[in-house]
A and B are shown apart, each in its own frame.
Chain A
Amino acid sequence: MTELLQYLVSGTTVGAAYALVALGFTIIYNASDVVNFAQGEFVMLGGMVTFFAWQAGVPLPLAALLAIVAAAVIGVLLNKLAIERAGAAPVVSLIIITIGASIFLRGGAQLVFDKQLHRFPGFSGDEPMNVGGVTILPQGLWVVAVAVMVFVLLYVFFTRTLTGKAILATANNRVAAKLVGINTDYMMSLSFALSAAIGALAGILMTPISLTSYDLGVPFALKGFAAAMLGGMGVPVGALVGGLLLGLIEALTAGLVSSTYKDAVAFIVILVVLFWMPQGLFGRKSMERV
Chain B
Amino acid sequence: MRLSSKHLTLLILLAIVALAPLAFPSNFYYRIGALAFVNGLAVTGLVILIGFAGQVSLGHAGFAGIGAYTCALAPIYLGLHPALAMLLGTVISAGIAWLIGGPILRLKGYYLGVATLGFGILVSMVLANEVPITGGADGREVPELGLRAALKFIGIDLSNAQFWYAFTALFLLGGAWVASNLHDSAAGRALRALHDSEIAAGTVGVDVARYKLSAFVLSAVYASLSGSLLALMNKFITPDVAGFLHSVELVTMTVLGGAGSVPGAIAGATLLTLLPQALTALQAYEHMILGLIMMLVMIFMRDGLVPTLSRALRGRG
Contact = CB atoms under 8 A, between A and B. Distances in A.
B293 A100 contact: yes
A110 to B, nearest CB: 7
A58 interface: no
Contact of A278 (B58, B111, B122, B252): B111
A90 to B, nearest CB: 8
Secondary structure at chain A's binding surface: helix, strand, loop or mixed? helix
B115 A85 contact: no
Given A96-B251, A105-B291, A274 B115 contact: yes
A100 B292 contact: yes
Contact of A96 (B114, B284, B298): B298
A97 B110 CA distance: 13
Contacts, number: 121
Interface in B31-84: 50, 54, 56, 58
Given A91-B109, A96-B252, A107-B285, A270 B295 contact: no
B299 A111 contact: no
B55 to A, nearest CB: 9
Contacts of B293: 100
Contacts of A278: 107, 111
Contacts of A35: 110, 114
B291 A104 contact: yes
A261 B54 CA distance: 32
Interface in B258-294: 259, 284-294
B302 A89 contact: yes
B251 to A, nearest CB: 7
Contact of B288 (A93, A104, A229, A260): A104
A290 interface: yes
Contacts of B50: 92
A95 B125 contact: no
Given A86-B299, A96-B252, A267 B294 contact: no
Interface string A256-271: 0000110110111011
B244 A93 contact: no
B118 A271 contact: yes
Given A104-B291, A111-B288, A264-B125, A82 B299 contact: yes
B58 A97 contact: no
Contacts of A91: 56, 108-110, 113
Secondary structure at chain B's binding surface: helix, strand, loop or mixed? helix
Interface in A192-235: 218, 222, 225, 229
A97 B295 CA distance: 5
Contacts of B248: 99, 103
Nearest to A107: B287
Interface residues of B, number: 45
Contacts of B302: 86, 89-90, 93
Interface string B218-253: 000000000000000000000000001100100110
Contact of A267 (B56, B111, B118, B291): B118
Contacts of A66: none
B103 interface: yes
Contacts of B294: 96-97, 99-100, 103
B129 interface: yes
A102 interface: yes
B199 interface: yes
A36 B56 CA distance: 16
B121 A267 contact: yes
Nearest to B100: A271
Q: Of A85, A103, A111, which is in contact with the most chain B CB atoms at under 10 Å from its CB?
A: A103
A96 B284 CA distance: 22
Contacts of A97: 294-295, 298-299
Contacts of B58: 95, 99
B255 interface: yes
B121 A104 contact: no
A270 B122 CA distance: 12
Pairs A-B, 10 closest by C-beta atoms: A104-B291, A100-B294, A107-B287, A267-B118, A103-B291, A107-B288, A91-B109, A100-B295, A35-B110, A93-B298
Interface of A: 35, 82, 85-86, 89-97, 99-108, 110-111, 218, 222, 225, 229, 260-261, 263-264, 266-268, 270-271, 274-275, 278, 290
8 contacts: A90-B302, A91-B108, A93-B255, A100-B292, A100-B294, A104-B295, A110-B287, A111-B285
